[in-house]
Structure 1
Amino acid sequence: MKLDRFDRQLLNLVQEDAGQTADRLAEQVALSPSAIQRRLRRMREAGVIVRETAVVDPKQVGKPTFFVVSLQVERERPELLAQLRRWLSAHDQVQQVFYVTGEADFVLVVTAPDTENFDALMIRMVGENPNIRRFTTNVALSLVKRGLTIPVSLDEDD
């Protein structure tokens, strides 16, 4: 899908706050509210906008702990990697999964109410995925920044 400058402006705005009304977005982009709605619908249908979520303040919902986990696998056979990807995708506590280069094969962002719950999840993960060689964990001491915003250049050539 070809994105013009208006689409790119809208993407930046809705990534910051997807709850803005078409009227509010129209105040920031030189388009009518109905044109805004059409463009957003088109971008959803084309898969440019994958989903819209609410960002929740962790302190307001029990202060979960965040863990950054590096996984190493034994073998990088496609069927074994696919099985691990399915397992990781099926668990809500696993918030992000990156297949990476370097010493680790995957880097995960995991949340749990406490270390006991995290440990139980890791025991299940290793038990149900024998291709995992090892994992290392970093515990987040504080949350400095959290987001999924992709900066979208307003230039169509970028």
Structure 2
Amino acid sequence: MKSQLLFDFNSNSDIKNWVIVDDVVMGGTSSGSFGISPDGHGVFKGAISLDNNGGFSLVRYTFERTLILDFTKIVLHIKGDGKPYQFRIKSNSGDYYAYITPFSTSGNWQEIEIPLRDMYPSFRGRRLDKPNFSEAYIEELAFLIGNKKEEHFKLLIDKIELR
């Protein structure tokens, strides 16, 4: 089975292109952070607040445009906290919308397979009247939590790959 790594975390990973975007961009007070755990995993964690109509935190990774025509899915190697998250991709980082899919975490390490063709276009929580993902490239991926409740969260990421 052919695969291609999009990101493989280790204790020396360069994470400068992993950027947090919280609901503070619209007046909210949620706070997320991103770093590397002592055992070399990406760690997206923080607290969601519903104050001032807030309620989300996102970490996004922008990278060199990658041809994906030989692949049909993205595989996430993650360990969540039992909460639901969204995985998001963009074929052009300048697009106002992203293609998204929700996924659940179990509290254990998981390998989550996301068929690219099942990812649907969304903007600010609303599904758009556009076709599902069918692009030739991607250049941004993101994880988002926004479950319409106040909560602390923690998502460990080992690697993200195309298959």
TM-score, normalised by the number of residues in structure 2: 0.25
Larger helix share, 1 or 2: 1
Larger Rg: 1
